[in-house]
Structure 1
Amino acid sequence: MRRTLVLDNGSHAIKGGYASSDSDAGPRVIPNTVTRTKRTKRVYVADLIDKSSDLSGLYYRSPFERGYLVRWDAEIAVWDRIFSNDVIGCTPTDTDLIVTEPVFNFRPIQRTMDEILFEEYRFPSLIRTTATKLATIGAADVIYGDTKEPDCVLVVDVGHAFTYVVPYVNGKQVSAGVRRLDIGGRILTNYLKETVSFRYWDMMDETYIMNAVKEKCCFVSQDFYRDLETARGCSGGRGVRSNPLGLEYVLPDFTHSKQGFIRGRGGDVEQLMSDTQILPLCNERFAIPEALFHPADIGLEQGGLHETVIQAVNACPEATRGVLLSNILLVGGTAALPGLEQRLQSEVQALAPCRVQVTAPQHPALQAWQGGRALARGTAAAAGRGDWRLTREQYEEIGPDRAVAHFEGFD
């Protein structure tokens, strides 16, 4: 019996694993990039970058551009690495595949993906759908704690390139209500790089380090002006240790530490590092994520995340609006920022005429993969809404264009 591989093909990282794996075992998370080191000029594909000790000033070649898959040579190299025995160990000709794509993906990209997966890798069957669609599968367990799928779900996917707000009614995407906010994890990392480079150290080439700093140190404020007043005393790096919001981040030396750590939380590694370089952080910790709610801070003429949610709901049929607002599912890698779930709920509630409930799973970045696994196992209610799967024989019979139309029917 063939196994099913679920591949959440994100622009920052790919979450991949077999649907038949142990229920407690999550997917492998692999960087979706080809990386070249600045000093040695060595090239590393996907997770091989973890083997390098030279992580300063990395050059990234992502298969994605502005959230869409356009560099197929880079993506094929990453997929080859993932399918190898060193990572997942997949024989495509004996494996069924579920793979994700961006919302409103372009038809030429969809067609090329189908051609590569069916004709080059020769997978015997394929389901291609969006990460937001898969995230709705199993949403009832996250929102209600039971297995009865809700009729209406509003998925807020705070990803690497963009943030999508996608309403679903009876399992179908309400296309008129889909909204996109041009802020994701990448922009927040770049914003943090620019801020600390202006105030402290030149970190403009240190994407790898600053992404780790963002993930370990940043949080979403529940009262921005109160926290700003609290942080007033530690501007310019002074008074960081005595301020309740201040942190000192020990930058990596690439011998004992690759990413760095917060001072006082480095364990044995901190004892080994005799000569440390410190990056002080205070209001940067919450001012950077604040761009999600005030995009004008970084020059974007868009409403904030809470306003985007209201716009999406108001574009849906009136009878569904109250249910959508009470079933907001927050997913995506950037959704793991501490405080985002609570802040989004309070901001949307201030604009909504009815009760609002925002819920995030324990691991927001893995929700789409978990939904794909439930679909593959046939344990999801959505699995009964038609045959999503397209076999290679069907693909060869109907051709690439009709294959694209086949998957569009299940959005």
Structure 2
Amino acid sequence: MRTLILDNGSFTIKAGYSDIQQPLEIPNTIARTKRTKRVYVGDLIDKSNDLSGLYYRSPFERGYLVHWDAELAVWDRALSDDVLGCQPEETNLLLTEPVFNFRRIQRSMDEMVFEEYGFSSLLRASSTKFAALGSGHTLYGNGKEEEAPECLVVVDVGHSGTYVAPYHRGRMVASAVRRMDVGGRLLTNYLKETVSFRYWDMMDETFIMNAVKERCCFVTQDFYRDLETAHGKGRGRLAVDYVLPDFAHSKTGFVRGQEPRTEELMRDSVQILPLCNERFAVPEALFHPSDVGMDQSGIHQAVFQAVMACDQRLQPAMLANILVVGGSANLPGLRDRLAAEVQALAPAGTVRVAVPEEHKPELSAWMGAQQQLHSASPACTALDQWRVTREKYHELGPDRIIAHFDRFK
């Protein structure tokens, strides 16, 4: 019986059977076009050319799954014959959830998996758990599938927020977990507001501005130095021109000079969005949330606080094994800046920060789950005890199943 791994992120679902190399990435949203009012579920948005002023309906609020009607529509599309071709009654499901998920949401998830879809079995855990289990290759970097270190800090910079979760021998140190409400969505919205005030009105262009953020933004190593450069003679080193899409030759746009053929086709309708200090000022909110009016610690402070909340004997090992995952981990410069900032807070320890290079950081949970399913390690053996069958669910009931999964956090 095949196992389906479903990393149910608030921005994209990473889904695929455990015997494939790479999962599919499916937008976890329902989109409606502004002009034609057409509705697109999940990956169907890729088939639309009317991407200006999209209205999004996400199943998630503040990182938690609360709109089940929207999520079921996306899951139906993902499991359909056109995408995964899944037969739930003949499939084992491995499903991720947020850290410290609410019991009511957990109960609803289990009910949907077994009663709505009828999956043969379920294994449910947080995405940081699976990222931690598959972290050995990234941290040791020797080309081998190594066991995860005994002490590890997973920094999940996701769409709705950022979690800092320390792990000791595969178990999450719950009392040391930290969360900040700065994630990919906030950065995109911050960029929209900034460019709308300075250049073009882009407040309704979430799809486009998310692409601008992913292609143009980076984390500076010295904010004030680069800010001075942006306002001085060295501006050209930081400035880029982003060519906005015409939705005929380009759907998301591109950096000027990188796609000359497409730019030539668009020569009569080119609209330019100039970017300079926005490129690094927007991601700076990860380190200084007060820039966007949030009274929270920065990501480096959250990491340091999480480590200091662990047993003192474990702290040096925690500092030496920091793994950054999630979609915003793709921001250039994030790893080096985070390492430098945490090192400044902990001068007595050696800080090492790693970001997956063998695969995209947002796939870390999916890849970690796949690795465990095909591993001969004790952690893999424990998966059999972790998994709950449909028959056991109906025998024990949802409340006892929730308690069962809590034992394996």
Q: Bin the TM-score by the shorter chain.
A: over 0.9
Alignment match, 1:392: 390
For the residue of structure 2 that corresponds to 1:244, the secondary structure is helix
Q: Given the superposition, is the C-alpha separation of residues 27 and 276 from structure 1 closer, same or farther in structure 2, using an over 3 Å criterion? A: same
Q: Offset at 1:137?
A: 1.5
What residue in structure 1 maps to residue 8 of structure 2?
9
CA distance in 2, matches of 1:252, 1:373: 37
1:342 aligns with 2:336: yes
* Aligned pairs for 1:55-74 within 5 A: 55-74=51-70
Does the aligned pair in 1 maintain the 2:134–2:369 contact within 8 Å?
A: no
Deviates more, 1:381-390 or 1:332-341: 381-390
Match runs of 1:246-257 below 5 Å? 246-257=239-250
1:359 equivalent in alignment to 2:354: yes
Aligned partner of 1:323 in structure 2 is 317
> In 2, distance between residues paired with 1:57 and 1:138?
39
Displacement of 1:144 in angstroms is 1.1
- Per the alignment, residue 251 of structure 2 pairs with 258
Following superposition, the deviation at residue 378 of structure 1 comes to 3.6
Change (3 A) 1:379 1:246: farther
> Counterpart of 2:165 in structure 1: which amino acid?
V
**Is the contact between residue 134 and residue 372 of structure 2 (CA under 8 Å) also seen in structure 1?**
no
Tell me the residue number matched to 1:154: 153
Cross-structure match for 2:400: 402
Q: Which stretch shifts more, 86-95 or 385-394?
A: 385-394
1:269 aligned partner: 262
How far is the alpha carbon of 1:69 from its aligned partner?
0.2
- Distance in 2 separating the partners of 1:343 and 1:55: 34
Query: What is the CA distance between 1:120 and its match in structure 2?
Result: 1.0
Matched, 1:54 2:50: yes
**Residues 189 and 41 of structure 1, relative CA distance in 2, 3 Å threshold:** same
- Listed one character per residue, the Cα deviations across residues 312-333 of structure 1 (whole Å, up to 9, x for unaligned) are 0111111111100000011001
Q: Is 1:80 aligned with 2:73?
A: no
Structure 1 residue 31: Cα displacement: 0.2
Alignment partner, residue 208 of structure 2: 209
Alignment correspondent of 2:28: 32
Identify which of 86, 96, 107 aligns with 1:111.
Answer: 107
> How far did residue 126 of structure 1 move?
0.4
Q: What's the CA shift for 1:87?
A: 1.1
- The answer for the alignment partner of 1:370 in structure 2 is 367
* Contact 1:137–1:381 (CA under 8 A) maintained in structure 2: no
Q: Distance in 1 between matches of 2:209 and 2:272?
A: 13
SS at 1:176 equivalent: helix
Matches within 5 A, 1:271-286: 271-274=264-267, 275-286=269-280
Moved over 3 A (4+): 378-381
Partner Cα distance (2:214, 2:95) in 1: 26
- What is the deviation of 1:89? 1.3
User: Any conservation in 2 of the 1:252–1:259 contact (CA below 8 Å)?
Assistant: yes
Check the 8 A contact 1:138/1:380 in 2, yes or no: no
Shift of 1:379: 4.3
Q: In structure 1, what is the equivalent of residue 38 of structure 2?
A: 42
Q: Tell me by how many angstroms 1:149 deviates.
A: 2.4
What's the CA shift for 1:114? 0.2
1:380, distance to aligned residue in structure 2 (A)? 4.8
Query: Is the CA contact (8 Å cut-off) linking 1:231 and 1:282 kept in structure 2?
Result: yes
CA RMSD of aligned residues (A): 1.2
What SS class does the counterpart of residue 51 from structure 2 fall into? Answer: coil
8 Å CA contact retained: 1:62, 1:74: yes
| Contact 2:31 2:57 survives alignment (8 Å) | yes
Find the counterpart in structure 2 of residue 244 from structure 1.
237
Moved more, 382-391 or 122-131: 382-391
Which runs of structure 2 are paired with 1:115-194 in the superposition (5 Å)? 115-145=111-141, 146=144, 147-194=146-193
How far the C-alpha of 1:38 sits from its partner, in A, is: 0.3
Residue 304 (1) aligns with residue 298 (2): yes
- Give the letter for the 2:281 counterpart: A
- Against the structure 1 CA distance between its residues 273 and 380, is the aligned structure 2 distance closer, same or farther, given a 3 Å change threshold? farther
What SS does the aligned partner of 1:85 have? Answer: coil
> Unpaired runs of 5+ in structure 2?
none
**153-162 vs 375-384, greater mean Cα deviation:** 375-384
Change (3 A) 1:379 1:212: farther
Deviation at 1:381, TM superposition (A): 4.4
TM-score by length of 1: 0.96
Change (3 A) 1:267 1:93: farther
Q: Distance in 2 between matches of 1:281 and 1:382?
A: 47
**In the alignment, structure 1 residue 195 sits paired with structure 2 residue 194:** yes
Residue aligned with 1:243, SS: helix
Alpha carbons 2:162, 2:181 under 8 Å: kept: yes
- Corresponding residue SS for 1:248: strand
Structure 1 gaps of 5+ residues are none
Aligned 8 A contact 1:233 1:243 in 2? no
Question: Alpha-carbon deviation of 1:267?
Answer: 3.7
TM-score with structure 2 setting the length: 0.96
